[in-house]
Structure formats: structure tokens, C-alpha cells
Structure 1
Amino acid sequence: MDPELLTIVVMNVMNTTRLVLHYFMSCETENDSVVPALLAAMETNNSRLLLAFTEQLHAVDRRYWARETSTEWWDRIVMHVWDDEQWLQNFRMRKSTFLELCAELAPALRRKDTRMRAALTVEKRVAIAVWKLATPDCYRSVAKQFGVGKSTVGAVVMQVCRAINRLLLRRTVTLGNVQEIIDGFEAMGFPNCGGAIDGTHIPILAPDHLAREYINRKGYFSMVLQALVDHRGRFTDINAGRSGKVHDAHIFQNTGLYRKLHSGTFFPDQKIPMGDVEMPIVILGDPAYPLLPWLMKPYTGKLDSSKERFNNRLSRCRMTVERAFGRLKGRWRCLFGRLDLDEENIPMVIAACCILHNICEVKGEKFPQEWSAEVERLAADFEQPDTRAIRGAQCVAIRIREALKEHFDHDSQ
């Protein structure tokens, strides 16, 4: 019998007995013992009816059940069978690095079991998030892979990215040993250099509000990641979340990095003589950035051999940031598709990918050549927009660049 129909029948019978009982209690009778006897009989019958109803409900097949899922792949295969090469290909890091990451994030991700179900372990939470960041898989595919619900994947990814930002950002994306960075760029041909800066566009879905503000010069929706890297391609400062329509120079001038560089508090006050001027620690940018005493950029327009030599030397060092972006996107392939996230969550996910990039670089995780080939292939789908050159320059900055040009000319002779 259908459960809904059975419920209606039982409730009708019980309501009828209540009406009968009220009728007898309202009647005047000479025998006061009739009503109590009748009440007792009705209670007995109602109890039997409820018991029969309960047994019938247990016998009826339920219409809705929780989906049965399997966690054997994760529990048995991945955690106990996979070797380091399989971990690297799928999680972009070896198992030892993964477990260290889990230990770092455990205070923010550990959950208690409930009476309804056992909580996901920290390792499984981190694995779900890292898998989603490292692959172009949709939420449904990741959910099936790990034996969890689709909504669980979305919640876990944000929990893990939030924990990565809160616990690891300041410790991982940091300047570190400045002299080591300067020596590294010096070996590459540029003196007193503290980093290379550039921006890259991350494709996103059209935002719900002000979508036109996110269309870049190539015609797709994007957010900009602007980053400063050291000589090894590790991020030392990141800024993510500005719309793809905004010029790189405008983004830069509204960052904390710009304010620190302008006030002289980001690098130590370490100047070297360059011709007849004192040259502070500088960073290197492309023509989209302004020429400043602490920011060197290439010459534009008609170039002679000296200017070309300067540009080549600067480009050789500035390529570190281009390679860093390539390795970032090669590891965390979610950055190559249109990020299927709410607009406010995208900067946090981009930052989490940058932090994981630095962790992998510090741990010496391999970056196979086929990943680079994949980056080049995917880059064609979302070509990076060209940015307009900034031509204004401060007088001191011009003198420093000219002195550097002459210094490189002297080196070549």
C-alpha cells in the first residue's frame, strides 16, 4: 500500500475515534463507568492501529535513499598503491610533500565526526581541492572520483583554499633573502635587481554584475594576477582580483607593493654607483609599466645597438616571471579554463595556486616537459592581451637607465 495513502487512512480513523469520545463525554448518563471503559477500549485500539501502521511503513520501500558511493579508490589505491610519479602526475607533488601540506593545514581543516556520518579526513579534503585545482575536471567528475557529493567538492575546495591563504600566504609568498636574489639576477646579467614583475589574465565566467568591466582587449572575461618573482621564478608578491579591462600600470599603482617600493620600505636601502648616479635596488617590467628610479623597463621606438643590448639584457632577466606564470598554469590547470567560481572567491583560489606553486618549487617538485607543451597549446585558446606602453618617465629614472645602458656597452667590449 502506498505510504501516503496509508497515512491518510490512519489519521482519518484516529480523528473519528476522538470525535466519538467527545460525544460520549458530553452526554449525561446514569452510569458513570461507561465513559472510562469506552476510553480504555479506544486507547487500546488506537495503540494497535499505530503499531500496525509502523510495521507497514517499515515494510514499504523508501522512495528516497542517499546515493551509495565508493571511497576504495582513494582509501586503498591512491594512499597505499600509487608511487611518487603517479602522485606527481595527478596531484602535482609527491606524496611526502602532500602529507606535509596536510599537516600544515590540519588545524583549520580537521572536523569532528557526527552521529549521522564520519567527517572527511584532512588528507581527503586536501586531495579533493588539489585535484580540482590541478585538473580541468568538473565538480561532478571530482565528486565521483572521491566518492563524495558534488556540493561537498565545492565546499571543500573553498575550505582548503581559505586555509592555504590564511595559514601559508605570508610565510610562503615572501621576499626571503634579498642578497641571494640580487646575486641571482647579477649572474643573469642585471645588477642590483630584486625581482621581475608582470601580469597575466586568468579566464573567468561572466560575472553577474558589471560584466563588461571584466572584458579584456582580447574579448574574453578575465581577472588579472600581477606578481613579482625572484631569480628562481618564485612569487615574492602577488595581487589577484582586478578586472581584465584595467591596465597593468593602473593595477600596479594601486597595490601595496607599489606603495612600499615608492616609500623605499620593500627592499633594504642598498644603492650602487652607476655612472654618475646612485642606483637603488630595482625591479624589471615590460613597456606597460612606468619607468621609475626603482623600476627599469625596455626602450621603445627606434633602437640603436646600445638600446637593443640593454633590452636583451633586461628581457633575459624578466623572462623569469614569464616562466613562473607558465609553470603556475602548467601545474594548476584550473587557471587555463574559465574558473567556474563566484566572483568573490576567484582571487582566493588564484592566490592558493600561487602558494602551492611556491611550495612545489621550494620542495624541488619536477615540472615535466609535457606540461610546458600543454601550457603552450592551451594558451592559444585564451591569448594574453597586449597592453599599451607607458611613455612617461622620471628624470632620475632616465639617467639610471642610460647609465645602465653604458655599463652594458662597456661589458660587451
Structure 2
Amino acid sequence: MRRATFMEICDLLSPALKCKDTKMRAALTVEKQVAIALWKLATPDSYRSVGNQFGVGKSTVGVAVLQVANTIIDQLLSRVVTLGNVQTIVDGFNALRFPNCGGVIDGKHIPILAPEHQGGQYINRKEYFSMVLQALVDHKRRFTNINVGWPGKVHDTCIFRNSGLFEQLQEGTYFPDQKITVGDVEIPIVILRDPAYPLMPWLMKPYTGTLDSSKEQFNYRLSK
């Protein structure tokens, strides 16, 4: 991470993270809190090891990581993970030869340590413990919507159907009401997905089974 990026993050988080000294001890600076959290998030080091790096106790590391992470969610998430200019996204997918597309959605398993008493809920189909990140991305692969925290055992389709994104897409409120006509069918702005998801008027997935040349061409464009 460049120093300028680090300082920008510290400036943005400073109002929520700045602490006052007490008679017992000097408060950690914002810069040190952010550095501790970033180090822990970027490495497999233990809390004790990170504490040794920064000259603090392991409990202080735990507090710093949680405070910084929660502040990032409260202060920065909506600035970074946002839909942005829909027409720019649609034009970007048009350049990839898929018309009226507003994004691509998929799930990612984030490895975790097994939680006590409910580890079985977090074992995914590849037999390791995980939480699921569902992400919608634009034509430049930037996150525009995320949903994270479901146990790894839960299927992508279940997560999707229980997300706020699904509800907004179903209600037609996530994207502008911008339709095009393909053949004699009106098509709203759609998102793309692999065959595991259901086919919806606003959710396109590849054809399966025996394919003719036109279906193969459709699958090629969607996959690309």
C-alpha cells in the first residue's frame, strides 16, 4: 500500500477512531490502529505476533482490528461499493457484446476457522470451513453490491434469494426502467450468472443441454 493511500484511509477514519489519553495510558494513534488492522487483515499472523510487531498486547490488537473494520463498514463501504453510473456500466458490457447488462454476480468462499458448536454449518462442498461473499461486479470487475457472512454450507441460490439485491431486482428498483427489444421480447437491464442460479426475466444464465449454433454463441458472449 502506498503511503498516500494509507494516510487517506487514516484521515477518513480519524473522526471515529481518534481517542483521548487517560491517566492510565496514552491512546493509540489513528495511524497505529489502522496499521495494526491492515497488518492483521493482510497476513496470517496471530494476534500475539501482530502485537509484538507494534509493541502492544494481543487484546489491543483484537480491539483495534474490530474497531477499524467496523468503522470502515460504517464510514467507507457505501462510498466504495456502489452502483455508480448505470449507463456507463451498460455501455461497458455492450462493448463486450452483451446488450443491456448491469453486472455479473457470483459467490466466493472465504476460508475461516471452525466456529465453536456450529462448525458443521460452515463446511462447504469442497470440505473446508468458510463464509460466503456474494458480489455483483461491473464491466471493470469493480464491486457494486456485496452480501457477506452466510455459512459456507448454504447454497449460492439460497443466499441470493435472501439478499436485499434480489428483492430490489425483483421489484425493479435496483436499475432504471431501461428496456430494449430483442426479436419481439422486451428485455430489462439484466445481470449475468452461471447455471447454478435460476433463470429470471432480469437474470440471464447459459443454456444447458444440446446446443445449436445460436445458443453456443449466446453462451460464449455471456461467458466472456
> Normalized against structure 2, the TM-score is what?
0.97
Q: 1:182 aligns with which of 90, 107, 128?
A: 90
Partner of 2:194: 286
Partner of 2:111: 203
Once the two structures are superposed, residues 140-167 of structure 1 have per-residue CA deviations (whole angstroms, 9 ceiling, x without a partner) of 2211111111111111000000000011
Using the alignment, how far apart are the partners of 2:65 and 2:153 within structure 1?
28
Query: 2:68 aligned with 1:132, yes or no?
Result: no
Query: 2:17 aligned with 1:109, yes or no?
Result: yes
Q: 2:63 aligns with which of 155, 180, 183?
A: 155
Using the alignment, how far apart are the partners of 1:96 and 1:213 within structure 2?
41
Using the alignment, how far apart are the partners of 2:115 and 2:211 within structure 1?
42
Relative to its length, the structure with more strand (as a share) is: 2
Q: 1:225 aligns with which of 123, 127, 133?
A: 133
Q: CA deviation at 1:301?
A: 1.8
Task: Mark the structure with the bigger radius of gyration.
Answer: 1
Q: Which amino acid aligns with 2:6?
A: F
| Alpha-carbon RMSD | 1.1
> What aligned pairs does 1:6-405 form with structure 2 within 5 A after superposition?
93-316=1-224
Q: Which amino acid aligns with 1:171?
A: R
Using the alignment, how far apart are the partners of 2:177 and 2:38 within structure 1?
40
Once the two structures are superposed, residues 364-395 of structure 1 have per-residue CA deviations (whole angstroms, 9 ceiling, x without a partner) of xxxxxxxxxxxxxxxxxxxxxxxxxxxxxxxx
SS at match of 1:238: strand
Using the alignment, how far apart are the partners of 2:118 and 2:41 within structure 1?
26
Using the alignment, how far apart are the partners of 2:216 and 2:40 within structure 1?
44
Relative to its length, the structure with more helix (as a share) is: 1
Using the alignment, how far apart are the partners of 2:7 and 2:209 within structure 1?
52
Q: Which amino acid aligns with 2:131?
A: M
Partner of 1:49: none
Once the two structures are superposed, residues 243-286 of structure 1 have per-residue CA deviations (whole angstroms, 9 ceiling, x without a partner) of 11111111100010000000000000000111101110000001
SS at match of 2:117: coil
Q: CA deviation at 1:305?
A: 2.5
Using the alignment, how far apart are the partners of 1:104 and 1:238 within structure 2?
21
Using the alignment, how far apart are the partners of 2:163 and 2:117 within structure 1?
23
Higher relative CO (Cα under 8 Å, sequence separation at least 6) belongs to: 1
Q: CA deviation at 1:171?
A: 2.1
Runs of 4+ with >6 A deviation: none
> Normalized against structure 1, the TM-score is what?
0.53
Q: Which amino acid aligns with 1:128?
A: I
Aligned residues with identical type, % of pairs:
71
SS at match of 2:220: helix
Unaligned runs of 5+ in 1: 1-92, 317-413
Q: CA deviation at 1:132?
A: 1.1
Unaligned runs of 5+ in 2: none
Using the alignment, how far apart are the partners of 1:240 and 1:277 within structure 2?
35
Q: CA deviation at 1:116?
A: 2.0
Using the alignment, how far apart are the partners of 2:174 and 2:66 within structure 1?
31
Using the alignment, how far apart are the partners of 1:231 and 1:239 within structure 2?
19
Q: Which amino acid aligns with 2:203?
A: L
Q: How many residues of Structure 1 are paired with residues of Structure 2 in the alignment?
A: 224
Partner of 1:27: none
